[in-house]
Amino acid sequence: MEVRKPVVAGYFYEAERKLLEEQIKGCFLCEHGPGSLPSVKKGSRKIVGLIVPHAGYAYSGPVAAHSYYSLAIDGIPETFIIIGPNHTGAGSPVAVMKEGRWSTPLGEAVIDTSIAEELVDNKLIYEDPYAHAYEHSVEVQLPFLQFLYKKVKFVPVCMLDQSFEACVELSDTILRAIEGKDVVVIASSDFSHYEPYHIAYSKDAKAIETIKALDAKKFYDRVAKLDISICGYGPITTMMLFSKKVGAKSCEVIKYATSGDITGERGTVVGYCSAKVVK
């Protein structure tokens, strides 16, 4: 089986196991994090989708920890479908890896081949490891999942085509592929990029209004109309569309903050949001 080596270890997050574990603990325990370490619970689950940022842990890690804290206390999903934007521009419109393992300093996460094979349609969604080779948006989610769970099964999805039509098709395909399985769809995205502090808050608040309403089309249209530089608007839209199709009832925005809140540098900032969708 192919093993994908991490490409942003030592850059977005610590490259040594012990240091990375301490870094993740710090994300949970720090001022902007949940304030305590999560304890994984067993039993019936309600979360079907998450929004999680994907910047360096020093910046977005505390916000990301809120989503993963909620996930831990919700239970143990069978598989995660992690959808991220394609920052590199390489590869297919929507790219999936169908088999193999992804390595991080915390071990190896295994691709759920049974679901991944059902996603590939060779029209919009292709098997394309090349698109994932240097992309960080999926990778940075794995250490958090590995910190919580002994074993992690997942499907990596990278969206170069973030059109609304692509979001609809991908959400429909995911729905068919996960039939009978307990899956959480993680939308990996940062929010406003390199805006003045107060402008980022204002713009992102308008997007967050539509996320709380679980209105995927309104979210998509508002991001375009207001020129909100959310890099993973496609993954977020796809996750919300999918969630509604599996009976989701509500979306809670758990935490929003910017890099300026974390570092104190508020000239230009990047926004980060954690949210959970439940049924």
CATH number at residue 121: 3.40.830.10
Q: pLDDT digit string (tens) for 24-40?
A: 999 999 999 999 999 99
- The CB density around residue 10, as the number of other CB atoms within 10 Å, is 13
Q: pLDDT digit string (tens) for 35-70?
A: 999 999 988 899 999 999 999 999 999 999 999 999
In this structure, are residues 32 and 262 in contact, taking their beta carbons and an 8 Å threshold? yes
How many structural domains is the chain composed of?
A: 1
75: left (phi over 0), alpha (psi -120 to 50) or beta: left
pTM of the model: 0.98
Domain of residue 155 covers 3-278
CA distance 73 to 220: 30
Which two structure tokens, joined as six digits, stand for 13? 């997050």
Report pLDDT for 170.
Answer: 98
